[in-house]
Structure 1
Amino acid sequence: MTADNVIKRFAKGDDGRAEREWRALTLLAMHAPGLAPDPRKADLAASEPVVVMSRLAGVPLRGAAVGDEKIKALAEAVTALHSAVPSDIITKIPLRPGHQGEVIGHLDIWAGTARPRAGGLVRQAMEAGLSWLARSGLKAGTPAGVPPVFGPGDGNLANYLWDGSRVQVVDFEDSGRSDRAFELAEITEHVGSWVEHPLDVPTFLDRFDLSPAEAARLRTCRRLLALIWLFLLAGDDPEHPRNPVGTAERQAGRLLDLLA
């Protein structure tokens, strides 16, 4: 890292992360300048790819209270992300990693591996979530009437930087074609949006003018991603936990509330 630039290095066999990062930075620099770091240069063909970008001022929204002013700025940044890239370009961009079909595939595997080891409220929520998933119709794909948008692919509030007046966005390794409902659910259901300083989800979501189809899909996507997070948190290593004790149980309660 230099005073003006950030040098982001990717491991060998990065599964396209560097390419997705560079594509996102160049698209956003063209269609929404100032929203994300400016792309400087990249070596995507290197055995360990490198992307160089400008350094943004600001502090992550995660780790501090997110009041009304920050919620407004966050919603504006997310809206800009979703609307910046023209639709004729969006349709040519590959689906983002962790899209609906991919996460359902993970759940199909985890149902047979992680669920038998769970107990108590966590097991109850897993059973309820998987039962809902089986009848949800999600395996048929995204419903009609839900237009594609550019999705950053990571709902961690640590990737949204507050500079005192606006929010800018970093980390596009998992970006690609998505839809608004799925990307909003990425933010509201991410563990970083509630485990420390809870995001006011109703206030945040009220700032988006969703179509009836998108609003219905948002409810579905929140349940799906909450179920994903339950399995992820239930698999936390008890010897070296990444989150506070009881986080999986709290997530189980959150999922059951969403399913109610």
Structure 2
Amino acid sequence: MPQTHLVTTQGDLVTKQYVSCPRNEHVREWSALHALPPGLGPKPVSLDLSGLVLVMSWVPGQPLAGALTPGQLDGLEVALRALWAQPADALEPIGVPELLARVRTAIASYRGEGVVGEAHDAAAAWLDGGEVERLLLPGVPVIGHGDPNLSNYLWDGARVRIVDFEDAGVSDLAVELANLVEHIAGRGTDWSGFADRFTVDQRRLLSARRLWACFWLTLLRPGEPAESRNSPGTGLLQSQRVLRLLAR
């Protein structure tokens, strides 16, 4: 993937120099940092709009990875509750219509065989069936992080803090939970019951999980760049995951 920014740390300050901002990433991050409750993430220090330079405070902790422990899952829940309790109206929206259009185009463009082809056929049928359209209806608005890679959640042994808000915006609870649970970085964790800790529309959550699973299918299938960055067979496992979710 093309590099979007460079990060340097000096003392207690972190400087993010954006290379380009096609989706207004620097403003998204700046706005999100201002919306965070104290202690949840970096404090905004300065933003140079012309130079695309954002300065923020340094945040302690190590990135989450692999199979999360019960304590880490509890810490993640606390952090997400704090994030999602903040007003989201000052942020730009995260585009579910754009995500849906992207997935539809990518699914329709692929011709494959075996389980991968079967998953694409099932995904295409589901995308045409109308269920996914419920995600275009208003949900419970929250501040969406936009990139719930586990590496963006820092664990200090007692609590979780959140960093990298360049994709942040107004989202909804079901879409955000689904994005977290279906993200490829979290496959080592047993997420069973995690979403049940939150009051969320289960039908909307399932639709969102299906959409995100299809999104990852388009990235992990044979021939895609992300396939080579993951373990052999990841695309097959993702195809099987899509088929299981669509059969529920």
**One-letter amino acid of the structure 1 residue matched with residue 17 of structure 2:** R
Structure-1 residue corresponding to 2:63: 60
Report the Cα distance in structure 1 between the residues aligned to 2:230 and 2:77, rounded to whole angstroms.
Answer: 26
User: Aligned to 1:242, which of 229, 245, 248?
Assistant: 229
Structure-2 residue corresponding to 1:6: 14
Report the Cα distance in structure 1 between the residues aligned to 2:31 and 2:55, rounded to whole angstroms.
Answer: 12
**One-letter amino acid of the structure 1 residue matched with residue 238 of structure 2:** Q
Contact 2:108 2:124 in 1 (8 A): no
Contact 1:66 1:199 in 2 (8 A): yes
User: Cα RMSD over matched residues?
Assistant: 1.8
User: Aligned to 2:106, which of 90, 103, 110?
Assistant: 110
Report the Cα distance in structure 1 between the residues aligned to 2:78 and 2:102, rounded to whole angstroms.
Answer: 32
Aligned residues: 238
If the length of structure 1 is used for normalisation, what is the TM-score?
Answer: 0.86
Q: Does 1:38 align with 2:43?
A: yes
Residue identity over aligned pairs, in percent, reads 38
**One-letter amino acid of the structure 2 residue matched with residue 154 of structure 1:** D
**One-letter amino acid of the structure 1 residue matched with residue 215 of structure 2:** I
What SS class does the counterpart of residue 193 from structure 2 fall into?
helix
Report the Cα distance in structure 1 between the residues aligned to 2:106 and 2:136, rounded to whole angstroms.
Answer: 22
Q: Deviations over 1:70-122 (max 9, x none)?
A: 1011111111111122xxxx3453212xx321111112321343x12x32111
Task: Tell me how far 1:43 sits from its aligned partner.
Answer: 0.5
Contact 1:39 1:53 in 2 (8 A): yes
Contact 2:180 2:186 in 1 (8 A): yes
1:152-167 paired onto structure 2 within 5 Å: 152-167=145-160
**One-letter amino acid of the structure 2 residue matched with residue 45 of structure 1:** S
1:12-51 paired onto structure 2 within 5 Å: 12-28=20-36, 32-46=37-51, 49-51=52-54
Change (3 A) 1:21 1:236: same
Q: Does 1:209 align with 2:204?
A: no
What SS class does the counterpart of residue 130 from structure 1 fall into?
helix
5+ long unaligned stretches in structure 1: none
5+ long unaligned stretches in structure 2: 1-8
Report the Cα distance in structure 2 between the residues aligned to 1:136 and 1:224, rounded to whole angstroms.
Answer: 12
Task: Tell me how far 1:147 sits from its aligned partner.
Answer: 2.1
Contact 1:72 1:204 in 2 (8 A): no
**One-letter amino acid of the structure 1 residue matched with residue 85 of structure 2:** S
Contact 2:135 2:204 in 1 (8 A): no
Task: Tell me how far 1:241 sits from its aligned partner.
Answer: 1.1
1:46-125 paired onto structure 2 within 5 Å: 46=51, 49-62=52-65, 64-85=66-87, 90-96=88-94, 99-113=95-109, 115-116=110-111, 118-125=112-119
Report the Cα distance in structure 1 between the residues aligned to 2:232 and 2:214, rounded to whole angstroms.
Answer: 19
Structure-2 residue corresponding to 1:134: 128
Task: Tell me how far 1:166 sits from its aligned partner.
Answer: 0.5
